[in-house]
Structure 1
Amino acid sequence: MLIKIENFLHRVYKFSGILAAIFLILVAVFILIGISSRIFDFYIRGLSEYSGYCMAASTFFALAYTFSEGGHIRITLFLEKMGSRLKKIFELWCLSISSIFSGFLFFYFTKMLFISYKFQERSEGADEILIWIPQTSLALGSLIFFICILHHLFKALKND
């Protein structure tokens, strides 16, 4: 049962990484469209805002995938110098603190999303898009990141 859950979570992290790559490609597409629109003298409203939204979505969807692949900056320099028992305690402490902060991140992004939806806030850019639409990707990305850190914390506790 736990192996199935772990495999499912790894697929979620990988899918999140794929979404991050897609949003990063969209950033490049929007920038290229913006450049070519200036060359050919036509204007498309909101391209810079859309590229900003895609960059934020790419960043937050990439968090869980990068963490699960070990790509985040870690404190391995300190961990290499510690004994195995102290290393395990320090790793558990770091994962616990990270899970608390990522939980707060998820909570407040979700709260911000619901407030924006409730009041139907619009962006201040030229397109005036409903702001909860791009905020959804931040809330989802932070949820997946929170789950990823908890997953690694439980794995570290299980291996204790």
Structure 2
Amino acid sequence: MRRVLDALYTAAGGLAALCILAICLLISAQVGLNILARVGGPALSFTIPSYADFAGFGLAAASFLAMAYTLRAGAHIRVNLLVSRLPQGAQWVAEMLSLALGTAMVGYATWFSVQLLMESLHYGDTSPGIIAVPLWIPQLTMVTGLVLLTVALLDTLVESLRNRAPVIIDFGSE
């Protein structure tokens, strides 16, 4: 099970990286088209339809898909100033409390994101750009990322309970 979960987190992180790459390529292509229009005049003026919308969808997908991977890698921003000064047992208690609270909060957000996705499907909501994209498509990446983060938080909570010690390693201390 550990390998399956780690493979899921890694795959989501890889998809997030591909989204960032796609954003870079899309924006670079539009900048190139803008330069072409400046140099060549109005006859060579082209725009990638809804490029800003697609860049925004890609950014949202990258942000949400990367969260579970980032948590398991210990790279989330954490306040270690206080936690690092606590004894090992108190560090474990602090991690347990934060993981339990985080699981509850992200689970709540996941539930309502699924409801939003279902509502968008029901009403056929689309983006207002030149290319009308059904909103359930970008929302699906958000829901997927939140589901994975909920699973990762619960996974980390269970692992911490089993080890009776903190399991999130501070990325900056390695």
Q: TM-score, normalised by structure 2?
A: 0.86
Percent identical residues: 25
Deviations 1:36-60 (A, max 9, x none): 2223311221111001000000000
- Report the counterpart of residue 87 of structure 1 in structure 2: 91
State the Cα distance separating 1:149 from its structure 2 match.
0.6
Aligned residue type for 2:33:
S
Question: 2:17: which partner in 1?
Answer: 21
1:71 & 1:81 partners in 2: Cα distance? 19
Matched residue SS, 1:81: coil
Deviation of 1:122 (Å): 0.8
Aligned length: 156
Q: What is aligned with 2:69? A: 65
Q: Which residue of structure 2 lines up, in the alignment, with residue 149 of structure 1?
A: 153
Out of 26, 33, 36, which is 1:37 matched to?
33
Aligned partner (choices 32, 47, 52) of residue 48 of structure 1: 52
Q: Distance in 1 between matches of 2:3 and 2:97?
A: 25
- Given the alignment, which residue of 99, 103, 110 partners 2:103? 99
Return the letter of the residue paired with 1:47. Y
Q: Which amino acid aligns with 2:71?
A: F
Which of 4, 15, 24 matches 1:8?
Answer: 4
Q: 1:6 and 1:76 mapped to 2: Cα distance?
A: 27
Q: CA RMSD in A?
A: 1.1
State how far apart, in whole Å, the 2-side matches of 1:152 and 1:101 are. 15
1:90 Cα deviation after fit: 1.2
Unaligned runs of 5+ in 1: none
Distance in 2, matches of 1:31 and 1:43, equals 11
- Which among 76, 81, 95 is matched to residue 77 of structure 1? 81
Unaligned runs of 5+ in 2: 37-44, 165-174
Q: CA deviation at 1:108?
A: 1.4
In structure 2, distance between residues paired with 1:39 and 1:156:
54
